[in-house]
Chain A
Amino acid sequence: MGIPFEGNNLSLFWHGFVQTVLLSGASALLALVLGTLLAACRVSPVPVLRAFGTGWVGVFRNTPLTLLFFAVTFGLPRVDVHLSAFVCAMLALGCYTGSFVCEVLRAGINTVPIGQAEAARSLGMTFGQTLTLVVLPQAGRAVLGPLSSVFIALPRNSAIAGAFNVAELYSVQQTLSEQGYAIFAIFFWIALAYLCISATVGLLFRGLERRLAVGA
């Protein structure tokens, strides 16, 4: 059972762990920015933007993540865009997760009473100001719970990147089983590492919920 503490394994594990954290972090950032922009599109008064947001969510939320990895990794080189495996994985994960973030935020926006936006507009705020200063901060607070589920799913989804040449946590499993270690023992340690990441994300969100709770 003590696989990580044999030979060079600890550094192998550590490297994979760091790659997973980096990949998840970068994708989470992309997903958050993209998701917010998409949500803004979906509630904007401009029909073209609304259609764009709806289309994006329709495509990326309904496509299997593995297929998206394929599309990015093998599709982009065809149009002469050459990116590292890490960046490809980040794009696939970010675009996929972004569509979920968008839908969660949109649900949150719908919970904010219309009067909040009317008050903002009546003070002379533009659509962008109304959204970023008044509506989204309240929408975000309302959906921290579901949002944390999306961001806990992200590091686990990132395991697919292991099959696309990113030396992350899950790919460590391949290396180790080639070295002849017992498969269940390997999976135990890898699962434990994923659990650490997910639990940390969960804790972060719970802390955020406590900090942002509005006095009442």
Chain B
Amino acid sequence: MTETTTERPATPLVVLSGVNKSFGAHHVLQDIDLTVHQGEVVVLIGPSGSGKSTLCRTVNRLETIDSGSITVAGSPLPAEGRELARLRAEVGMVFQSFNLFAHKTVLENVVLGQVKVRRTARAEAETKARSLLERVGMAAHADKYPAQLSGGQQQRVAIARALAMDPKVLLFDEPTSALDPEMITEVLDVMRALAAEGMTMVVVTHEMGFARSAANRVLFLADGRIVEENTPEEFFTNPRSERAKDFLSKILHH
């Protein structure tokens, strides 16, 4: 194992075991076993339709599973209802299409969850929101509406919104796939900083540079299975499976 994983006490934070999921006849997740430890950055890569986004979304039950079990911080995912809402507050999510609340200002987007879910006092929530916006470089845009921002700016606000809940783990579902190339960097920089600070992250991405530089572990998915699991260095220089070799040869040489 690499140095980074031995340095940290390996507390399992998210544990998936024997997870199966089908959309009709399409078996998108097949017997997935995955343990994400505290402070770990796990990157999921793979061709489209491989199930990586679905896998990411099962962790806060935006996607239900057919069989198997998922636990977050030791407790199994509850069924739909208040229990589940409480758990979701602990699991942050950043979406491909940002999904900022269109009718709220940037500041309100970051304040809303704190006040309505965490029941934080408004003044306190605003202070925290402003400092988080500062952290993602968006403090100057606090009073704008999402539609007035570029994609990269929206995504950085979305990250601040997720961080405002003090999540135990952050899920990123292709956070840069809808962005222009020059905006990708500004979002990845924020994510790298988070990773360096020890945030537990599960990241679905096509950004191999990010996987290489920030991930502790890379999982390669194809056809609903985890085909390969390795350190980024090993995975990119010396992939073991034919499927991964094929995938990498298609995406890396341009």
Contacts and interface: CB of A to CB of B under 8 A. Distances in A.
B99 A115 contact: yes
Contacts of A113: 97, 99
Contact of B102 (A118, A124, A125, A138): A138
Interface in A129-143: 129, 133-134, 137-138, 141
Given A214-B147, A215-B147, A124 B99 contact: no
Contacts of A125: 85, 113, 116-117
B148 A215 contact: yes
Interface size class on chain B is: 20 to 34
A121 B82 contact: no
Given A115-B97, A118-B62, A216-B147, A123 B89 contact: yes
A119 B57 CA distance: 12
Given A123-B165, A137-B103, A118 B95 contact: yes
Interface string A201-215: 000000000000011
Given A115-B95, A214-B147, A215-B148, A126 B102 contact: no
B82 A119 contact: no
Contacts of A45: 80
Contacts of B99: 113, 115-116, 118-119
Interface residues of A, number: 22
Contact of A119 (B91, B100, B103): B100
Q: Is the interface of B mostly helix, strand, loop or mixed?
A: mixed
A215 B85 contact: no
Query: Which of A124, A133, A215 counts the most chain B CB atoms within 10 A?
Result: A124
Interface in A146-174: none
17 contacts: A45-B80, A115-B99, A118-B62, A118-B95, A118-B99, A119-B101, A120-B101, A121-B85, A122-B60, A123-B88, A123-B117, A124-B117, A125-B113, A126-B85, A129-B117, A133-B112, A215-B145
Interface of B: 60, 62, 80, 82, 85-93, 95, 97-103, 112-113, 116-117, 144-145, 147-148, 158, 161-162, 165
